[in-house]
C-alpha cells in the first residue's frame, strides 16, 4: 500500500495571525500510506499545518494538493480528509453510533453500506458494546476511540490527528500509540499526527517532521532525526544530548582535525568546515564510553567525576561532571556476562565516545553573530 | 460555623418570607377568589361558585385565548428569528466591544416598558418617524399610520421582549464549542446541515428558554395591545384587566389568572424535562 507518490503536497505555505508569522514557507510531501508525525514545541505551527490541510484555516500564501488535486478553494466539508480533534469534539447529543453515522449520512452513503462500515469501525476500536451510549457516559480513552472511529469510518485519503493522546494517562497513551500504528498499517491509510512529544513521535512514525518557529528543520525517519540531526535545534529537541565545544584545525575527506574541550582529536563528518570555525559535538548518552583509567593516547579522553547515578532497570544512567565544566549524560546497558565495574557517585573517570558516533555541527551561536 | 448557619437562616428566611408574602399569598388569594361569587357592592361575596370558571369556558374567552396564543406565538417567532443571528454574531465576535454590545441590549430595561411603549406610538403613528421617512423618500405619497394594527402589536411585543430572547440564546451559543462546528464541517456537513444537525440541537436549551421568556410574558402584556392595538386585539392580559377594572367580575378575572398560571406552570415543566433530557435521552435510531 505504501507508495512513493505524495498523497498530500504542501507548497511554500505561509500563514500569519495578527502580524505574527506562524508558518514561514513550509513545503512537504506526505506519502500515501505513511505514518507521518509533525513534531515541535508548542507554537511552532504544527497544528496550523493540520488545520490548513483540513480546511479550517486558509494559507496566506502557498498551495495544498490532495491526491494531485489543488485544495485551496475547497471548503472543509468537501475535502476527503478527516480530523481527530485534540478535544475529540464528539457531538454530545448523539450516541456513539450516531456520531459515527454523521459523516456517512452527510456524504450520502447508502444505509446498508453505512451500517456495515459503522459495525467494522466500532469493532476495530473495540466499542461495539457501547454503541448506544452518549459520549458523556464514556471514559476519556473510550471517547478518544470514538473520535478515531468517527474519522476513520469515512474512509478518508488521510487521517489528521491533532495531539489526540495528550489527555490520556501514560499507560493508555502507550497502548493507543501501538493501536494507531497498527491501524495505519491495516487500513493502508495515511496518518498525519501532530505532537510535541518526541518519544510518541518516534514510537509510531515512518517519518518525522521536526518544526520550529514556523519552519521545517528536518524531515526523516526517527533514526535519521535522532542519529543525524541537521542542526542544533533538532539535536537539542530530540532526545538527550551532551554538547561539547570545539574548533576546526583542518579537514581531509571525512576526517576533521579539531580541538574539543581544549584537546586535539579526530572527528568524522561529511559536512564541510573551514579551519578555525567553531563547532559543536553532539553526543547521545549511549554513544559515551566511561573508563576508570585509559591507556590509549589517540582517542580523546576527558577527565571527570561521577555526580549522579540512576538505576533504570534495563539501563544504568550517570551524570558525569567534566573537569572542563560540562555535564555528560551516559546510558550504559546491562550485560549479564560483562564483568565491568559499575561506577559510583564520586568516582574519578575518563570519558570518551565510540569513534564515528559523534555528530559535528557548526556552532550557530557563533555564526549567528 | 455558628455565624454561617445564622447567616444562612437569615438569608433563606427573608427570601422565604418575601416569596410567601408577595408571591404565594396573592396567588392563593386569586385561587380562592376564583371560586367565590360575584358581588356588585364589595366585588366578591364569600359563597362558593363556579361562575368564574364558567366564564372562561365561554366562546368569548376562548376567542381571546386563541387570539392571545396567536399574537404571543407570532411575536415569539419574530423574536427568535431576529435574535438568533444577533446572538450568534454577538457570541462569535472576537471584539473588545462584546461587553458594550451586550450592555446595549440591556439598556432599554432601564426605562419603564410602559413609557417605551408610548415612545413606540411616536414611531408608528401617521406623523411618526416611519411615516415621515417613507414620505420623505417618496415611497409613500401620503402619511402612513401603523397604529392600531396587528403589525403595531407585533412591533411592540418584539421590541419589548427581544432582550429576553437574546440573552438565553447568547449564553447557549457562547457555550457551543468551536470544534463542534469544525467537526461537522470535517465530516462533510455544509453550513446548512451543520446548523440543522449540530448547532440547532446543541442550542435547543437556549431556544426553549428564550421562547418561554418571551411567550409567557407576551400573553399577559395587556398594555401593548391596549396602546398600540387600540384595544381591538384583546389578549388574556386585557381580558383579566377588563374583568377586574371594567366588568367588575373578580371571580371571572381570577379564574382567567389561574388558567394563565397553569399554562405557565405546564410550559415550565415541559422546559424542565426537555432540557434535562438533552444529551442523555436513550435513542436507538441510526
Q: Domain extents for chain A?
A: 6-235, 240-367
pLDDT for residue B97: 84
Yes or no, beta carbons of A55 and B185 under 8 Å apart: yes
Contacts 24+ apart (CB under 8 A), A15-21: A15/A45, A15/A48, A15/A52, A15/A57, A15/A59, A15/A60, A15/A214, A16/A60, A21/A214
pLDDT for residue B284: 32
pLDDT for residue B281: 40
pLDDT at A298 exceeding the cut of 60: no
Yes or no, beta carbons of B279 and A107 under 8 Å apart: no
Q: Three cell numbers at A240?
A: 538527550
pLDDT at B270 exceeding the cut of 90: no
Give per-residue pLDDT as tens, A226-262.
999 999 999 999 888 889 998 898 888 888 888 888 8
Interface of A with B in 128-167 (CB under 8 A): 132, 134, 136, 150-151, 154
State percent of chain B over pLDDT 70. 95
Instruction: Output phi, psi for B190, to 5 deg.
Output: -75, 180
How many angstroms separate the CA atoms of A283 and A302, rounded?
Answer: 14
> Residue for cell digits 455558628?
B2
Structure confidence at residue A151 as a pLDDT band (50, 70, 90) = very high
Structure confidence at residue B278 as a pLDDT band (50, 70, 90) = low
How many angstroms separate the CA atoms of A87 and A65, rounded?
Answer: 27
> Residue for cell digits 565495574?
A341
- Is some CB atom of chain A closer than 8 A to the CB atom of B198? yes
β pairing state of A327-333 and A315-322: antiparallel
Q: Contacts of residue B190 in chain A, CB cutoff 8 Å?
A: 75, 77
Q: What is the mean pLDDT of chain A?
A: 89
pLDDT for residue A4: 60
pLDDT for residue A340: 63
pLDDT at B283 exceeding the cut of 60: no
Structure confidence at residue A367 as a pLDDT band (50, 70, 90) = very low
Give per-residue pLDDT as tens, B190-243.
999 999 999 999 999 899 999 999 998 898 888 898 899 887 888 888 888 888
How many angstroms separate the CA atoms of A214 and A12, rounded?
Answer: 11
Q: Contacts of residue A89 in chain B, CB cutoff 8 Å?
A: 177, 179-180, 182-183
Give CATH for domain A6-235: 3.40.50.300
Task: Report which of residues B113 and A31 the model is more confident about.
Answer: A31
Judge whether A43 and A214 are in contact, CB under 8 Å.
no
Read off the pLDDT of each residue in B273-284 and give the average, rounded to a whole number. Answer: 52
Structure confidence at residue B87 as a pLDDT band (50, 70, 90) = very high
pLDDT for residue A336: 64
Measured over the CA atoms of residue A139, residue A144, residue A147 and residue A152, the dihedral's sign is: negative
State percent of chain A over pLDDT 90. 61
pLDDT at B20 exceeding the cut of 70: yes
Cβ neighbour number for residue A229 with a 10 Å cutoff: 24
From the candidate CATH numbers 3.30.420.40, 1.10.3720.10, 1.10.599.10, 3.40.50.300, the one assigned to the domain spanning B67-244: 1.10.3720.10
pLDDT at A174 exceeding the cut of 70: yes
Read off the pLDDT of each residue in B80-84 and give the average, rounded to a whole number. Answer: 96
Q: Three cell numbers at A1?
A: 500500500
pLDDT for residue B1: 56
User: Of the ranges A53-67, A145-159, B102-116, B149-163, which one carries the lowest mean pLDDT score?
Assistant: B102-116
Per DSSP, helices labelled H in B48-112 are 51-56, 59-92, 98-106
Per DSSP, helices labelled H in chain A are 46-54, 96-106, 111-124, 140-152, 170-187, 198-204, 222-227, 232-237, 364-367
β pairing state of B37-39 and A20-31: unpaired
User: Of the ranges A69-73, A112-116, A213-217, which one carries the lowest mean pLDDT score?
Assistant: A69-73
Yes or no, beta carbons of B286 and A98 under 8 Å apart: yes
CA-based max dimension of chain A: 77
Give per-residue pLDDT as tens, A95-106.
999 999 999 999
Yes or no, beta carbons of A106 and B279 under 8 Å apart: no
Q: Three cell numbers at A249?
A: 584545525
Concatenating the DSSP letter of every residue in B10-42 gives HHHHHHHHHHIIIIIHHHHHHHHHHTSEEETTT
What residues are paired with B252 via a beta bridge? Answer: none
Read off the pLDDT of each residue in B235-256 and give the average, rounded to a whole number. Answer: 89
pLDDT for residue A1: 43
pLDDT at B138 exceeding the cut of 50: yes
Q: Contacts of residue A97 in chain B, CB cutoff 8 Å?
A: 286
Q: Please tell me which residue of chain A has the smallest CA distance to B197.
A: A102
Q: Contacts of residue B180 in chain A, CB cutoff 8 Å?
A: 89, 91
Burial of A353 (0-12, 13-18, 19+ CB in 10 A): buried
Task: Report which of residues A42 and A2 the model is more confident about.
Answer: A42
Q: B250-277 vs B25-34: helix axis angle to the nearest 10?
A: 120
Task: Report which of residues B275 and A177 the model is more confident about.
Answer: A177
How many angstroms separate the CA atoms of A88 and A95, rounded?
Answer: 14
Query: Among candidates A175, A141, A153, A42, which has minimal Cα distance to A98?
Result: A153
Listed by start position, the domains of chain B span 67-244
How many angstroms separate the CA atoms of B217 and B158, rounded?
Answer: 11
β pairing state of A61-66 and A215-220: unpaired
Give per-residue pLDDT as tens, A326-360.
889 998 877 666 656 678 888 888 888 888 888 99
Length of chain A: 369
- Helices (H) and strands (E) counted in chain B, each on its own, are 15, 2
pLDDT for residue A109: 94
User: Of the ranges A9-23, A197-211, B47-61, B197-211, which one carries the lowest mean pLDDT score?
Assistant: B47-61
pLDDT for residue A150: 97
Give per-residue pLDDT as tens, A79-127.
999 999 999 999 999 999 999 999 999 999 999 999 999 999 999 999 9
How many angstroms separate the CA atoms of B6 and A308, rounded?
Answer: 60
Among B139-143, B169-173, B216-220, the range with the most confident prediction by mean pLDDT is B169-173
How many angstroms separate the CA atoms of A83 and A161, rounded?
Answer: 6
- Is some CB atom of chain A closer than 8 A to the CB atom of B195? no
**A240-367: CATH topology:** OB fold (Dihydrolipoamide Acetyltransferase, E2P) (2.40.50)
ipTM for this prediction: 0.83
Instruction: Output phi, psi for A152, to 5 deg.
Output: -65, -35
Q: A140-152 vs A111-124: helix axis angle to the nearest 10?
A: 140
Q: Contacts of residue A101 in chain B, CB cutoff 8 Å?
A: 286
Concatenating the DSSP letter of every residue in B223-274 gives HHHHHHSTTSS--HHHHHHHHHHTS--HHHHHHHHHHHHHHHHHHHHHHHHH
Read off the pLDDT of each residue in A285-311 and give the average, rounded to a whole number. Answer: 80
Amino acid at each position: 500500500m505504501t507508495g512513493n507518490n505524495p498523497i498530500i503536497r504542501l507548497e511554500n505555505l505561509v500563514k500569519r495571525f495578527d502580524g505574527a508569522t506562524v508558518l514561514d514557507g513550509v513545503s512537504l510531501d506526505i506519502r500515501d500510506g505513511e505514518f507521518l508525525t509533525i513534531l515541535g514545541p508548542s507554537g511552532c505551527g504544527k497544528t496550523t499545518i493540520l488545520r490548513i490541510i483540513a480546511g479550517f484555516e486558509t494559507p496566506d500564501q502557498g498551495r495544498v494538493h490532495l491526491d494531485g488535486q489543488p485544495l485551496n478553494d475547497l471548503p472543509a466539508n468537501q475535502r476527503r480528509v478527516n480530523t481527530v480533534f485534540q478535544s475529540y469534539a464528539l457531538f454530545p447529543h448523539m450516541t456513539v453510533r450516531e456520531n459515527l453515522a454523521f459523516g456517512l449520512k452527510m456524504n450520502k452513503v447508502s444505509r446498508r453500506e453505512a451500517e456495515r462500515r459503522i459495525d467494522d469501525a466500532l469493532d476495530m476500536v473495540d466499542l461495539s458494546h457501547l454503541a448506544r451510549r452518549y459520549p458523556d457516559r464514556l471514559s476519556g480513552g473510550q471517547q478518544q476511540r470514538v473520535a478515531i472511529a468517527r474519522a476513520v469510518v469515512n474512509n478518508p485519503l488521510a487521517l489528521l490527528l491533532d495531539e489526540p493522546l495528550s489527555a490520556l494517562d501514560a499507560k493508555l497513551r502507550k497502548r493507543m500509540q501501538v493501536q494507531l500504528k497498527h491501524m495505519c498499517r491495516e487500513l493502508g491509510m495515511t496518518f498525519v499526527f501532530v505532537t510535541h512529544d518526541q518519544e510518541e513521535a518516534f514510537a509510531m512514525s515512518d517519518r518525522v517532521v521536526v518544526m520550529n518557529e514556523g519552519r521545517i528543520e528536518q524531515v526523516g525517519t526517527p533514526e535519521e532525526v535522532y542519529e543525524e540531526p541537521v542542526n542544533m535545534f533538532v539535536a537539542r529537541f530530540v532526545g538527550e544530548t551532551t554538547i561539547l565545544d570545539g574548533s576546526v584545525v583542518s579537514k581531509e575527506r571525512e576526517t576533521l582535525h579539531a580541538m574539543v574541550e581544549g584537546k586535539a582529536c579526530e572527528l568524522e563528518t561529511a559536512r564541510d568546515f573551514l579551519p578555525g570555525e567553531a563547532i559543536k559535538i553532539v553526543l547521545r548518552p549511549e554513544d559515551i564510553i566511561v573508563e576508570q583509567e585509559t591507556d590509549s593516547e589517540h582517542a580523546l579522553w576527558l577527565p571527570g567525576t561521577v555526580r549522579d547515578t540512576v538505576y533504570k532497570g534495563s539501563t544504568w544512567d550517570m551524570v558525569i561532571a567534566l573537569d572542563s565544566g560540562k555535564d555528560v549524560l551516559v546510558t550504559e546497558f546491562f550485560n549479564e556476562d560483562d564483568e565491568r565495574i559499575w561506577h559510583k557517585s564520586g568516582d574519578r573517570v575518563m570519558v570518551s565516545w565510540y569513534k564515528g558516533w559523534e555528530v559535528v555541527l557548526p556552532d550557530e551561536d557563533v555564526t549567528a553573530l | 460555623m455558628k455565624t454561617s448557619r445564622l447567616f444562612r437562616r437569615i438569608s433563606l428566611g427573608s427570601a422565604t418570607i418575601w416569596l410567601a408574602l408577595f408571591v404565594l399569598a396573592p396567588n392563593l388569594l386569586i385561587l380562592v377568589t376564583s371560586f367565590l361569587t360575584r358581588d356588585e357592592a364589595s366585588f366578591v361575596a364569600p359563597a362558593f361558585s363556579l361562575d368564574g370558571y364558567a366564564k372562561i369556558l365561554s366562546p368569548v374567552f376562548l376567542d381571546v385565548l386563541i387570539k392571545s396564543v396567536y399574537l404571543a406565538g407570532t411575536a415569539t417567532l419574530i423574536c427568535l428569528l431576529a435574535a438568533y443571528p444577533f446572538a450568534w454574531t454577538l457570541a462569535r465576535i472576537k471584539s473588545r466591544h462584546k461587553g458594550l454590545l451586550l450592555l446595549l441590549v440591556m439598556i432599554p430595561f432601564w426605562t419603564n416598558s410602559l413609557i417605551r411603549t408610548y415612545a413606540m406610538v411616536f414611531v408608528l403613528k401617521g406623523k411618526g418617524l416611519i411615516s415621515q421617512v417613507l414620505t420623505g423618500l417618496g415611497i409613500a405619497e401620503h402619511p402612513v399610520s401603523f397604529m392600531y394594527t396587528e403589525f403595531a402589536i407585533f412591533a411592540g411585543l418584539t421590541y419589548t421582549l427581544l432582550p429576553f430572547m437574546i440573552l438565553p440564546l447568547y449564553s447557549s451559543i457562547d457555550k457551543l464549542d468551536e470544534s463542534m462546528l469544525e467537526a461537522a464541517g470535517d465530516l462533510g456537513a455544509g453550513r446548512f446541515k451543520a446548523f440543522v444537525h449540530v448547532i440547532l440541537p446543541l442550542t435547543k436549551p437556549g431556544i426553549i428558554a428564550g421562547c418561554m421568556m418571551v411567550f409567557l410574558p407576551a400573553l399577559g402584556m395587556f398594555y401593548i395591545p391596549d396602546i398600540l392595538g387600540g384595544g381591538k386585539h384583546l389578549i388574556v392580559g386585557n381580558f383579566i384587566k377588563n374583568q377586574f377594572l371594567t366588568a367588575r367580575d373578580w371571580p371571572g378575572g381570577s379564574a382567567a389568572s389561574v388558567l394563565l398560571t397553569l399554562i405557565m406552570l405546564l410550559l415550565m415543566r415541559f422546559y424542565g424535562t426537555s432540557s434535562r433530557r438533552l444529551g442523555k435521552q436513550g435513542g436507538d435510531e441510526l
